[in-house]
Chains A and B, each alone.
Chain A
Amino acid sequence: MSAAPVPADAPESPYARIARDFAASPLALGALAAFALLLLAAVCAPLISPQNPYDLAQLDVLDSRLPPGSTGADGQTYWLGTDEQGRDVLSAIFYGLRISLGVGAISTLAALAIGVAAGLAAGYFGGRVEALLMRVVDLQLSFPAILVALILLALLGQGIGKTIAALVVVQWAYYARTVRGTALVERGKEYMEAARGLGLPASRIVFRHLLPNCLPPVIVVATVQVAAAIALEATLSYLGIGVPITEPSLGLLIKNGFDYMLSGKYWISFFPGLALVLVIVSINLVGDRLRDVLNPRLQR
């Protein structure tokens, strides 16, 4: 009998291997930890915020525009200062993170689902389906994302749901193009022929065999695109056409404080801006590492 090299350890799934490779980079681990903290702050915002920034009864106009670290009229400390309505900037950032991350995550997931489905259909079936889908993608990608989003929001109006819809429309094409490219490559591999040779139904071949093998590049694109979606939402909100003023995201918080930047009250814009930068940089660092780990050409 042939003596195949038998790995001594228990079978390691490809995902376990990816996790191990990922952890080899301290920078990426640090970025992941930072992102996890930010995510935790967003999820637990109602529990850890000193104040509910949406509750006007809790705001004291006398405390408006206090610098970081000052003590308010009721004796509480504003660690990051207050804005022009006397809102605690730290609490506003926690709640703003919620909106920003939520909008980014939901729009990315929705765009991912649509884009992956379109890309798989184009890559697997080919022919007219592919030609049609890919021309739509080309058309979509030939416009700047911000322009498409601006036009859509101008037509749809303001609101969180509408902002998400605009982000989905802007983003799905990236996923569709990525998945289609990978699907074309994977489709030609022998295990796909072998799966067909086994007499498996098409749906099973597409979802069980093709999809998992197309995922690595999509995961990389998705991490980068989450950051892009958050930045785009911040931009739209900064321009005043994104999320409504009653539920401020980070972009809107930056906008609110921007008028005071030149009068020395930097904290109203600066700290939300810092939070936004942290979110985007940490996600991008994680995404970069994932790309290194998942790219077969960079391995070995």
Chain B
Amino acid sequence: MTATLEVENLRTHFFTRAGVVKAVDGVSFAIGPGRILGLVGESGSGKTVTGFSIMGLVDPPGRVVEGRILLEGRDLATLDEDGWRAVRGRRVAMIFQDPMMTLNPVLRIDTQMVEAVLAHERVSREAALDRAREALVKVGIPSPDERLRAYPHQFSGGMRQRVAIAIALLHRPALIIADEPTTALDVTIQGQILAEMQALVREAGTSLLWITHDLAVVAGLADEVCVMYAGRAVEQGPVDAVLDAPLHPYTRGLIDSVPSRNRRGAPLAQIPGNTPSLLALPQGCAFRMRCARATETCLAEPPLYPTDDRRVRCFHPIHAEDEAWTG
């Protein structure tokens, strides 16, 4: 089975006046049809820029400087602007973070959805409207006819995000990139949307790249996970394996930072220090300054170690016996 999306050694850099910001610096992953990959990291770790790179939406001064992005076997780097436009929205769709801003506030829902259909298919307005109605039903919006004539401000955040998902589904894309679409929502709505997304992509065989900082979401939703830190993929593998037995100290720290993992009354665990500025990354491993396991070896750039189906970028990965020892 070939992967829907293959990203190989992606590097997206921003050439600013203050220097070159290596927002994404060597990220590789693949997503098969119907599979869900969780791309996890803190703010500024490059996860959103990775999504934008796949969409071809990186604006100057940013540029994809290296790497290949293969969508359904086609190298996206070879596309011109028209080629990109034929791919965006049709083969790969994106869902954004802020439900308040993801729909145009001055256009009615039907206008926006019909426009999205007509951007890629020559059908009548009525046919496009039917498609829009179907898509709204599919994402669980009641009385779609009434909803179609409404403006975005008349919808709740969760409803708006459902509409955004419906728009993304219009052309049955091979890949959907979701950039923290549930972060701004209530947990109950988040739960519903996660469950519906999971069902929708399984049913349609769509691949889903779910960008988030929330490990709990990844644990419940994704098949595989890729953890990013300071522009690099530090650990990736099947979601259960990575979350149950993380190899990278950063992944371990992320998991320990989730409050529910701590015993009641015990102080919450945290990763000391801050994410380094992408303009002044420390030499060698970017996590070195915050890592309890760091040694002089870490002054060199750690390579990505493949271990079975896992990959980790660390000289001193955590092993099962260490875990038993540290408790």
Residues of chain A at the chain B interface (Cβ within 8 Å): 1-2, 4-5, 7, 11-14, 127, 189-191, 193-201, 204, 208-209, 212-213
Asked if A200 and B119 sit within 8 Å, CB to CB, the answer is: yes
Closest to B162 in A: A2
The answer to whether A14 and B88 touch across the interface, beta carbons within 8 angstroms, is no
CB < 8 Å neighbour of B151 from A13, A199, A200, A212: A13
- Inter-chain CA distance A193–B98, complex, in Å, is 12
CB within 8 A of B150: which of A11, A196, A199, A209? A11
13 further interface pairs, Cβ-Cβ under 8 Å (given A2-B158, A190-B101, A194-B102): A1-B140, A2-B192, A4-B155, A190-B97, A190-B98, A193-B57, A196-B88, A197-B89, A199-B85, A200-B85, A200-B116, A204-B115, A204-B119
Closest 8 CB pairs of A and B: A199-B89, A199-B88, A198-B89, A4-B156, A190-B101, A197-B94, A4-B159, A212-B106
Chain B residues closer than 8 Å to A189, beta-carbon distance: 101
Interface residues of B in 93-109 (CB under 8 A from A): 93-94, 96-98, 101-108
* Contacts known (A4-B156, A208-B115); A191 close to B88, Cβ less than 8 A: no
- Which residues 151-166 of B sit at the A interface, judged by CB distance below 8 A? 151, 153-156, 158-159, 164
B233 close to chain A: CB less than 8 A: no
Residue ID in chain B nearest A196 by CB atoms: B57
Residues of B within 8 A of A14 (CB): 105-106, 151, 153
* A2 near B159: Cβ-Cβ < 8 Å: yes
- 8 Å CB contact of A213 from B55, B97, B106, B151: B106
CB distance from A6 to the nearest CB of B (A): 8
| Contact among B120, B153, B158, B188 with A199 in the assembled complex (CB-CB below 8 Å) | B120
B190-215 contacts to A, CB under 8 A, are 192
- Judge whether B65 is part of the interface by a CB distance below 8 angstroms: no
**Chain A residues, Cβ within 8 Å of B279:** none
Q: How far is the CA of A2 from the CA of B160 in the complex (A)?
A: 12
Q: B154-193, CB under 8 A of A: which get 1 and which 0?
A: 1110110000100100000000000000000000110010
**Residue B304 lies at the interface, judged by CB distance under 8 Å to chain A:** no
Question: Is B86's beta carbon under 8 Å from chain A?
Answer: yes
CA of A2 to CA of B107, assembled, Å? 23
Task: A11 to B107: give the CA distance in the assembly, Å.
Answer: 12
Q: Which residues of A contact B60 (CB under 8 A)?
A: 127
Check A199–B106 contact: CB distance below 8 A.
no
> Do B104 and A11 touch (CB < 8 A)?
no
Docked complex Cα distance between A149 and B118 (Å): 47
Cβ contact within 8 Å between A213 and B89: no
- Chain A proximity of B110: nearest CB distance (Å): 10
Kindly state the interface size class of chain B when it binds its partner: 35 or more
> Do B119 and A199 have beta carbons less than 8 Å apart?
yes
User: Does B87 sit at the interface, judged by CB under 8 A?
Assistant: yes
Chain A contacts for B319, CB-based, 8 A: none
| Chain B residue, CB-CB nearest to A14 | B106
Measured CB to CB, the nearest residue on chain B to A215 is B106
Nearest-neighbour CB distance to chain A for B192, whole angstroms, equals: 6
Residues of A within 8 A of B159 (CB): 2, 4
With a CB–CB cut-off of 8 A, which chain B residues contact A191?
101-105
- Residues of chain B whose beta carbon lies under 8 Å from any beta carbon of chain A: 55, 57, 60, 84-90, 93-94, 96-98, 101-108, 115-116, 119-120, 140, 142, 149-151, 153-156, 158-159, 164, 167, 188-189, 192
Q: List 23 A-B contacts (CB under 8 A).
A: A1-B140, A1-B192, A2-B158, A4-B158, A12-B151, A14-B151, A127-B60, A189-B101, A191-B101, A191-B104, A194-B94, A194-B96, A194-B102, A194-B103, A195-B104, A197-B55, A198-B89, A198-B93, A198-B116, A198-B119, A199-B90, A200-B89, A200-B119
Give, as a whole number of angstroms, the nearest-CB distance from A211 to chain B. 10
> CB distance B115 to A200 under 8 Å?
yes
B87 to chain A, nearest CB (A): 7
Name the residue of chain A whose CB is nearest to the CB of B94: A197
Pick from A7, A193, A199, A208: contact of B87, CB under 8 Å = A199
**B149: contacting residue among A11, A195, A197, CB under 8 A:** A11
Chain B minimum-CB-distance residue to A10: B149
Known contacts A190-B101, A201-B85: A212-B107 contact under CB 8 Å: yes
Residues of B within 8 A of A199 (CB): 84-90, 119-120
Q: Which residue of B lies closest to A213 (CB)?
A: B106
User: How near does chain B come to A195, taking the closest CB pair, in angstroms?
Assistant: 7
Complex-state Cα separation, A55 to B53, whole angstroms: 71
Closest chain-A Cβ to B114's Cβ sits at a distance in Å of 12
- A11 in contact with B156 (CB, 8 Å): no
Which B residues touch A209, using CB under 8 A? 104, 107
Chain A nearest CB from B253 CB (Å) reads: 30
Instruction: Give B205 Cβ to nearest chain A Cβ, in Å.
Output: 21
Distance in angstroms between the alpha carbons of A196 and B102 in the assembled complex: 12
Q: How far is the CA of A194 from the CA of B113 in the complex (A)?
A: 12
The answer on a CB contact under 8 Å between B119 and A7 is: no
Distance of A163 Cα from B94 Cα, bound (Å): 51
Among A5, A199, A204, A209, chain B packs the most CB atoms within 10 A around the CB of: A199
Interchain CA distance A7-B153 in the complex, whole Å: 10
- Residue of B55, B85, B90, B107 near A208 (CB, 8 A) is B107
Complex Cα–Cα for A213 and B93 (A): 24
Cα A12 to Cα B150 in complex, Å, equals 8
The docked-state distance in angstroms from the alpha carbon of A127 to that of B59 is: 12
> What distance in Å separates the Cβ of B82 from its nearest Cβ neighbour in chain A?
9
A198 pairs with B167, CB closer than 8 A = yes
What chain B residues lie within 8 Å of A127 (beta carbons)? Answer: 60
